Structure 1
Amino acid sequence: MPGTVLLIAASPLGRGRLVDAAGVLPVLAAVAPAVLSGADTANVVELADPLEPQAVLTRLRAAAAAPGPLTVYLTGQLHLDRRQRLPHLALARTTAATVRYTALPWHWIREELRLRTAAQTALVVDLHADPEAWMHVAERGLDCGPTTAVYGRVAPAAPGRRGTAEPSYMKAVATLLRSGHRPPLPELHERALARTDESGTGRHLVLASAGGFAHGPAYRPAPPRPRTPDVPPLPGTSAQAPAAPPPPAPQHPAALPVEPHAAISAAVRGGRHDEADALAARYELAAVRAHGPASEDALHWSEVRADLAMFAGDAARSCRAWMAVAGVRLAAGQAPDAPAVESAVDRAHHQWGRIEDAARARELGPALAELRLRVPGRRDGALENVQRQLRQLQSR
C-alpha cells in the first residue's frame, strides 16, 4: 500500500519571519518519495509558505484520510493568539496582530490525525517559537494527540537576533535521508539531533514520542548537543525526554479490544463502517456510564462517531453528531470560542454543506443557524453562509 508524505514549510513574509522554513524544501524534495515515507511507494504533497489556514487544513485532511502510512515533515514557527493564548503555526500572511485569523491553530493538526494510529502516522517537526510561544510549550509541551508518533524539536527565537534562523534539525533529517535509507524514526531523530547546531539559540525542546506529544513536565528544555559522529548516544546520555504513556482507556467490558482506535481504523480501511461505529458506540456508552455525558472521555467517542459517519459518506448523520457535541460542550459551560466548540461547529457546518438530500439539509439547517449565532467561528460570514443556503433550500 503506498504511503503519503506531506511537506509543509511555513513562515511569515517580512520582519516577522523567525526561520527560513522554505529553505529546507529543496533538500527534502531531493529525497526519494519511498525513503521519505518508509513505504515501497509514496505520494508527496509539498506546501511552501502557504497563505491560508483553510488551504493547509484541506491538504492535511486529505492526507489523513489516505490509506497507508502518513509522514508529515513540518518546518515553521509558533506564535500564540492574543485571545485564547493557544499555539498556532504562522503562515505567510501572519503578523503578531493577526495570528488568530491567518495562522493554523495547532489543535487542528491534532484533530485531523486523531483517527489514525501511531504505527502509521508520524510527525517530524522543526519549529521556532517567539518568546510567548516558547514559554507556553516549555511549560506545557505541544499536544498532537495520543495516536501520532512525534519527533523533532522546538527552538526559541534567538535574543537580539539578526536575520532568520536555519531549520538545522530538518536539514539534518533531509541530509540523512538522501543516503537512500530511512532508519527507524527514533534512530533518525537521534542522529539528526547529533548533527543539529544549536549555538545560536542556546537550548531547545526535544520532542520524541512513539504515541503523541507529552504534556507539562514530561518535556524539559534540553541543552545544546555537541556535534558528534552519526552514532547512537550511549545509554543514559540522551537529552531526549521519555515518551508519554498512552492515556488510560475508559472502563469497558473485557471483550473489547485493548487498542480501540487501531481496530476502528482497520474497520474503516476495510469498508466495514457499521462495525467501526458499533465499536465506537460501545466505548462511548462505557465512558458515559463511568464519567458522564459531558466528560472528555465520552465527548471523545462522540467525536469519533461523528468522523466515522463522515467516512461512511453519511454527511447528515455526521452533521447532527457534531452539532450534538457542540451543544453538550456549550451546556457544560465551555466558551463559544473554545477550540473544541469552534471545531465541532465548523465540522457540522462543513458536513451540512455536503448533504445531498435537500429535505435533510432543510431539517438540520435551522439548528445549525442557531448554533452559528452562538459560535460564529473564525471565518467571517459563516452565519450568513448558512442563512443564505437555507433560504435557497426552502425556496425549492
Structure 2
Amino acid sequence: MPGTVLLLAASPAGKGCLVDAASVLPVLAAVPPAVLSGTDTANVVELADPLEPQAVLTRLRAAAAATGPLTVFVAGQLQLDRRQRLPHLALARTTPATVRYTAFPWQWFREELRLRPAGSTTLLVDLHADAETWEWLRGRALDCGPGVAVHGRIAPPAGRRKVAAPTYMKAVATVLRSGGRPPVEQLHQMALARIAGDGEVGDLVLSGAGAGPFAGFAAGGPASVGGPAPVGGFAPAGGFAPAAPVPSLPGDLRARPPVPALNGTGPQAAPQGAPPAGPVPPAPATPSADPHAAITTAVQSGKHADADALAARWERAAADAHGTGSEEALHWTEVRADLAMFAGDAERSCRTWMAVADARLAAGQPADAPAVEAAVDRAHHQWGRIADATRARDLGPALAALRARVPGRREGALDHVHRQLRQLQTQS
C-alpha cells in the first residue's frame, strides 16, 4: 500500500524568526519518497513557508484522508496566542500579536488525525520555541492524540538575534540519505545522537505516543517522553466547510481510554431522531476492553444503528461514572455525532454537535475554547447538509442562537446562517 508524506517547514519572516525551517526541505527532498515513508511507494507533498493556516489545514486534511501510512515532517517554531495561550506553529506572516489568526494551532494536528487508524501515523518534529512558549511547555503535553507516534525535539531560543538551524531534522534526513529506513524509534535515536555530538543540549525530546506529558529536559542526552479546534471556512459554493475531516469511513475512532465496563446488556435509549437499534454487540467485560474497534467494524459493515446503540451505552456509562458534562461522557457524544454523519443523518449529527457545544458551555468552558468552536463548526457544516428544507429551517434558529454565542474564528459564520435561513424561508 502506498504511503503519504507531508513535508512542512514554516517560520515567520523578519526579526521574529527563530529558526531557518525551510533550509531543511532540500535535504529532505533529496531522500527518495519510499524511504521517507518507509513504504514501497509514496506520494510527497511539500509546504515551504506557507502564508495562511487554512492552506496548511487543507493539505493536512487531504493527507489525513489518504489510505496507507502517513508520515508528517514538521520543522518550525512554536508561539502562544495571547488570548488562549495555546501553542501554534508560526507561519510566514505570524507576529506575536497575530498568532491566533496567522499561525497554525497545534491542536489542529490532533483534530485532523483523530480518525486515522491507530499506528498508521507518525510525526517527526524539529521545533524551536520562544521564551514564553518554552516556559509554557514545562510539564505540558504537545498533544497529537494517542494513535499518533511523535518523535523529535523542541529547542529553546537560540539567543538574541540568532536564527537557529533545524539540525535534528537535517540529521534525520542525513540518516535516511544513507540508503536505509530504520524503524522510526531507531531513526529518532540516531538523529539525537548526531545532534548531541554537535553539543546541542537542553532540548525537550519527544519519543512515543503523542499524548504523554514531557518528562523534562535533555542534558547531553535524550530524555524520552511518551491537538479543537480548527475553524470553519466557506466553501466555494457558499456552504460552510467543516473544521474536521469528513472521511467516508471512520477508520479508528479511538480518542481516549474507554470508561469502566458497562453493567447490564440492554442498550440505553437513543436520543430523539436516532435510528432504531438492532442487535447490539455485547458490552466489553473488562475495563481494558476497547469498544471503538467494534463500533468501527459495525460502521464498515453498514450496521449504523448497532454502532450508535453501542456508543450510546458507553455514553450513559461515562455519564453515570463521571457526570454528564465530563470529558469522558462528551467524548462518546462526539463519537455519536460522527456516527450520525457516517450514517448520512445530517440532522441528527447537527443536533448532537449542538448538544456537545451546549454541554461544554454549561460546564463553564469559554466560547472561544477550541473544543467548543469545533463542535459549533461541525454542527454548522452538518446543518448545511440537511436535505429536507423544513427540517433545516426548523433547526436554523437554534443554530443561529448558538452561533451568536460562539462566532468562531472565521468572520461571517453567523451571517451565513442568517442568509441560509432566509433562503429556506423562501422555499416554504
Aligned to 1:56: 56
- Whether 1:307 aligns to 2:306 is no
Shift of 1:98: 0.5
- Distance, in Å, in 1 between the alignment partners of 2:386 and 2:220 is 53
Aligned to 1:286: 317
Please list, as runs of the form range in 1=range in 2, the aligned pairs for 1:1-396 lying within 5 A after superposition: 1-162=1-162, 164-196=163-195, 202-209=201-208, 211-215=209-213, 218-225=214-221, 239-243=222-226, 248-253=257-262, 255-256=283-284, 258-265=289-296, 273-274=304-305, 276-396=307-427
| Secondary structure of the corresponding residue to residue 39 of structure 1 | coil
Which of 304-313 and 82-91 deviates more?
Answer: 304-313
Verify the 8 A CA contact 2:34 2:41 in the aligned structure 1. yes
Which of 37-46 and 67-76 deviates more?
Answer: 37-46
- Distance, in Å, in 2 between the alignment partners of 1:105 and 1:327 is 23
Shift of 1:269: 5.9
Q: 1:178 to 1:135 in 2, by over 3 A?
A: same
Q: 1:392 to 1:89 in 2, by over 3 A?
A: same
Which of 98-107 and 65-74 deviates more?
Answer: 65-74
Shift of 1:106: 1.3
- Distance, in Å, in 2 between the alignment partners of 1:190 and 1:220 is 17
- Distance, in Å, in 1 between the alignment partners of 2:343 and 2:126 is 35
- Distance, in Å, in 2 between the alignment partners of 1:128 and 1:198 is 19
Aligned to 1:231: none
Q: Which runs of 5+ in 1 are unaligned?
A: 226-238
Q: 1:313 to 1:28 in 2, by over 3 A?
A: farther
- The one-letter amino acid paired with 2:216 is R
Verify the 8 A CA contact 1:291 1:298 in the aligned structure 2. yes
Shift of 1:39: 2.4
- Distance, in Å, in 2 between the alignment partners of 1:176 and 1:62 is 28
Aligned to 1:229: none
- Distance, in Å, in 2 between the alignment partners of 1:360 and 1:75 is 46
- The one-letter amino acid paired with 2:128 is H
| Secondary structure of the corresponding residue to residue 95 of structure 1 | coil
Verify the 8 A CA contact 1:157 1:201 in the aligned structure 2. no
Verify the 8 A CA contact 1:116 1:261 in the aligned structure 2. no
Which of 33-42 and 319-328 deviates more?
Answer: 33-42
Aligned length: 377
Taking structure 2 as the reference length, the TM-score comes to 0.81
- The one-letter amino acid paired with 2:104 is L
Cα deviations by residue, 1:305-334 (Å, 9 ceiling, x for unpaired): 223333444433332221111011111121
Shift of 1:272: 5.8
| Secondary structure of the corresponding residue to residue 50 of structure 2 | coil
- The one-letter amino acid paired with 2:41 is T
Verify the 8 A CA contact 1:94 1:103 in the aligned structure 2. yes
Q: 1:352 to 1:9 in 2, by over 3 A?
A: farther
Q: Which runs of 5+ in 2 are unaligned?
A: 227-254, 263-281
Shift of 1:207: 0.4
Verify the 8 A CA contact 2:201 2:218 in the aligned structure 1. no
Verify the 8 A CA contact 2:337 2:350 in the aligned structure 1. yes
- The one-letter amino acid paired with 1:315 is A
- Distance, in Å, in 1 between the alignment partners of 2:67 and 2:394 is 33
- Distance, in Å, in 2 between the alignment partners of 1:269 and 1:189 is 35
Q: 1:247 to 1:390 in 2, by over 3 A?
A: closer
Shift of 1:371: 0.6
- Distance, in Å, in 2 between the alignment partners of 1:110 and 1:336 is 20
Shift of 1:273: 4.8
Identity %: 69
- Distance, in Å, in 1 between the alignment partners of 2:199 and 2:394 is 59
- Distance, in Å, in 2 between the alignment partners of 1:249 and 1:28 is 39
Shift of 1:265: 4.8
- The one-letter amino acid paired with 1:33 is P
- The one-letter amino acid paired with 1:183 is P
- Distance, in Å, in 2 between the alignment partners of 1:198 and 1:262 is 44
Verify the 8 A CA contact 2:346 2:385 in the aligned structure 1. yes
Verify the 8 A CA contact 1:155 1:201 in the aligned structure 2. no
Verify the 8 A CA contact 1:67 1:269 in the aligned structure 2. no
- The one-letter amino acid paired with 2:223 is Q
Q: 1:20 to 1:292 in 2, by over 3 A?
A: same
Shift of 1:268: 5.3
Which of 298-307 and 128-137 deviates more?
Answer: 298-307
Task: Name the structure with the higher helix share.
Answer: 1
